[in-house]
Chain A
Amino acid sequence: QKEVEQDPGPLSVPEGAIVSLNCTYSNSAFQYFMWYRQYSRKGPELLMYTYSSGNKEDGRFTAQVDKSSKYISLFIRDSQPSDSATYLCAMKTGNQFYFGTGTSLTVIP
């Protein structure tokens, strides 16, 4: 079993839709949770980070962590064609980072 599981998609939604991206994990030692966005042939860029259970909001993006269920989510409101990318979840314990395989998202105008 992988440490971090992420549905690879692909996910296709119309512009303006709410998008939900999810990851599950098995290691209860994970302390820090991150979401990255990666455009084709580019390096991942950090979108959101959080270390506590609950919700963290930044503009159209909300990161949610449920440590009891070992489940994290990224919600995108009012999705735009520019949100079309691969989204990677990442988790950290100590100085080790663990990544999901990424979910490919396409927002159709």
Chain B
Amino acid sequence: DGGITQSPKYLFRKEGQNVTLSCEQNLNHDAMYWYRQDPGQGLRLIYYSQIVNDFQKGDIAEGYSVSREKKESFPLTVTSAQKNPTAFYLCASSIVAGGPYNEQFFGPGTRLTVL
């Protein structure tokens, strides 16, 4: 049963703490992405990675960090430097090879709340 899993589903953090959101995929996709979704603002790209051990900043990377040590895994750390981290975080993946005609598939999301 292929897909993208994210954990945990809900996460609560105290101000000043770093937290790590997990994203795993078994679709054998090369590229993985992290988005943040806020009401009325759509999806905003945080980081993306097209290959193991390489990743690029998206539009709103400040206060976040990622790693890509394995093809299947792309964890996102929300650091204490992120000023407004409460949001719904979505992980996605897609095939890179074959040109532009490849879709993006999403995980179920993690809702992070800062207390």
Contact = CB atoms under 8 A, between A and B. Distances in A.
A41 B111 contact: yes
Nearest to A8: B40
Interface of A: 6, 8, 31-32, 34, 36, 41-46, 49, 51, 88, 90, 92-95, 97, 99-102
A6 B42 CA distance: 10
A25 to B, nearest CB: 13
Interface residues of B, number: 25
Given A41-B109, A41-B111, A43-B108, A99 B42 contact: yes
Interface of B: 4, 6, 31, 33, 40-43, 45, 50, 88, 90, 94, 96, 100-109, 111
Contacts of B108: 42-43
Q: Name, among B31, B43, B105, B107, the residue most crowded by chain A CB atoms within 10 Å (CB to CB).
A: B43
Contact of A88 (B6, B41, B43, B100): B43
Given A88-B43, A99-B42, A101-B42, A46 B31 contact: no
A45 B42 CA distance: 15
Given A43-B4, A93-B100, A95-B94, 9 more contacts: A31-B101, A43-B108, A46-B103, A51-B101, A92-B100, A97-B45, A99-B42, A99-B43, A101-B41
